[in-house]
Amino acid sequence: MYELGRVMAELERIKAKRVLVQAPQGLKRVALQLGDELRHHGIDVIVSGGPCWGGCDLALNEAMEMSADAIVQLGHTNFVEQSVLPVIYVECRYDGGISSERLVEKVIPFLRPAKNIGLGMTLQWLNFLERIKRVLENHGFSVFYGQHENGRLYPSQVIGCDYTNMKIVERDVEKFLIIGSFFHGLGLSMITDRCVVVIDPETMHVGDMTQTAKKTLMQRYAQVCAFKGSRRVGVILCTKPGQKREGLATSIVSMLRKAGKDAYLLVLNEVDERFLPDEVFDAYVNTACPRISIDDQAKFRRPVLLPSELMVALGLGSWDELISKGEYFGWCVRNG
- The binding site for ligand SF4 (CB under 6 A) comprises 53-56, 159-161, 242-243, 289, 291
Q: Are 108 and 78 in contact (CB under 8 A)?
A: no
Cβ 75 to ligand SF4, closest distance in Å? 11
Cβ 17 to ligand SF4, closest distance in Å? 29
Q: Are 188 and 158 in contact (CB under 8 A)?
A: yes
Beta carbon nearer to ligand SF4, 290 or 303:
290
Per DSSP, helices labelled H in the chain are: 4-13, 28-40, 60-65, 100-111, 129-138, 164-167, 182-189, 210-227, 246-258, 290-296, 307-313, 319-325, 330-335
Residues facing 176 on adjacent strands: 118, 196
Give per-residue burial for 96-108: e unless 16+ CB within 10 Å, then b: eebebeebbebbe
Cβ 56 to ligand SF4, closest distance in Å? 3
Q: Are 145 and 165 in contact (CB under 8 A)?
A: yes
Beta carbon nearer to ligand SF4, 89 or 264:
89
Cβ 82 to ligand SF4, closest distance in Å? 16
Beta carbon nearer to ligand SF4, 128 or 329:
329
Which has the closest alpha carbon to 2: 92, 78, 74, 75? 92
Cβ 233 to ligand SF4, closest distance in Å? 21
Which residues have a Cβ under 8 Å from the Cβ of 85 and sit 6 or more positions away?
60, 63, 64, 68, 69, 70, 71
Cβ 266 to ligand SF4, closest distance in Å? 17
Beta carbon nearer to ligand SF4, 117 or 304:
304
Beta carbon nearer to ligand SF4, 135 or 289:
289
Sheet with 18-22: strands ordered across? 44-47, 18-22, 70-74, 87-90
Beta carbon nearer to ligand SF4, 133 or 184:
184
Residues facing 130 on adjacent strands: none
Q: Are 146 and 188 in contact (CB under 8 A)?
A: no
Q: How far apart are CA 230 and CA 314, in angstroms?
A: 11
Beta carbon nearer to ligand SF4, 87 or 161:
161
Cβ 160 to ligand SF4, closest distance in Å? 3
Q: How far apart are CA 311 and CA 150, in angstroms?
A: 26
